[in-house]
Amino acid sequence: MTGAAHLDPSAASPSSVEAPPVEVSRELQVALRGYLDHLTVERGLARNSLLSYRRDLQRYLEYLAGQGVTEPSRIEPSHVASYLADLRTGNSARMPLAASSAARAVVAARGWHKFLAAEGLVTADPSRDVRPPSPAKRLPKALPLEQITALLDSVTGDEPRNLRDRALLEFLYATGARISEAVGLDVDDVDLVSEPESGLTGVAILRGKGSKERLVPVGSYAAAALSAYQVRGRPTLAAAGRTATRGGAMFLNARGGRLSRQGAWQILNAAAERAHIAEGVSPHTMRHSFATHLLEGGADVRTVQELLGHASVTTTQVYTLVTVDALREVYALSHPRAR
């Protein structure tokens, strides 16, 4: 390709200047440069992403050179498979890579091979049947109910910002909303109703990934907090800006504009500090706690999937691992012949 800004695959970044262990052939370097040009021009990748591809693929080329490979057409499936094994086990010059890092490197190599085959530079893709390693599942972090209660109760007072903060935190825990969904909430997205038996409750429309909408219930605690904020807090905050008190963003900042994600994060951190919660608490912690507590209370996975807005139930099932761990702990403590 012409006119592309080349990222020289042989040029090391200033922070990682190392002499290559073996010399990579010109044929391999040219093939790599063509792929980097493709990523630059056709795919429009950001510079940092391109640098990451370059580093991963340069390491791959050096491995191939060490195996005596000098041309792309000479690369066999066994070379790709042995490269993956080398990444995971390490060698005398390099520590073994974690599954996530090895997977990224293999994905980069597979992309290069797919490009070469599509361009007709090789007759077959030797990486087609080599799968990157699956990273270990990280269990979502959830706070126990007593810590959630302490966090929510740490916000008191009738100042407008205190009313907003309490409403935001109650809403996050009541709905399992992503932080982007919460700060993107408008007044018209929430419908609060007073029922003779259950008191004040409601429903909210959340706009998730891909602009997909879902309807979620709002429990009595969150509904009461939202009502108090809308009546006694939001009008004062709205008066500081151009936002009308009827309609517009639900959660406002001190200047009357829509509360940002960073602002919501600071509200949560301040509440966690007041509640003396030592572990790091993020907006996603509230979402994880919402899902975990629902499952522990007997909700089925499909219902939790709908409430979280997950496209696949597989994503939601990671929360069942948390509840299984809790069941094991109860079993170990309670059963007379558990241990």
The residues assigned a catalytic role are 178, 209, 284, 287, 310, 319
Q: Are 143 and 277 in contact (CB under 8 A)?
A: yes
The DSSP letter of residue 337 is T
Picking from 315, 313, 307, the residue whose alpha carbon sits closest to that of residue 208 is 307
Tokens found for residue 173: 């825990």
Q: What H or E segment, with its residue span, contains residue 224?
A: helix 220-232
- Cα separation of 241 and 114, whole Å? 53
Q: Are 223 and 167 in contact (CB under 8 A)?
A: no
Tokens found for residue 227: 């009502």
- Cα separation of 38 and 45, whole Å? 9
Beta strands in 159-290 (DSSP E): 190-195, 199-207, 213-218
Tokens found for residue 107: 């994905």
Tokens found for residue 71: 């041309």
- Cα separation of 20 and 12, whole Å? 10
The DSSP letter of residue 72 is G
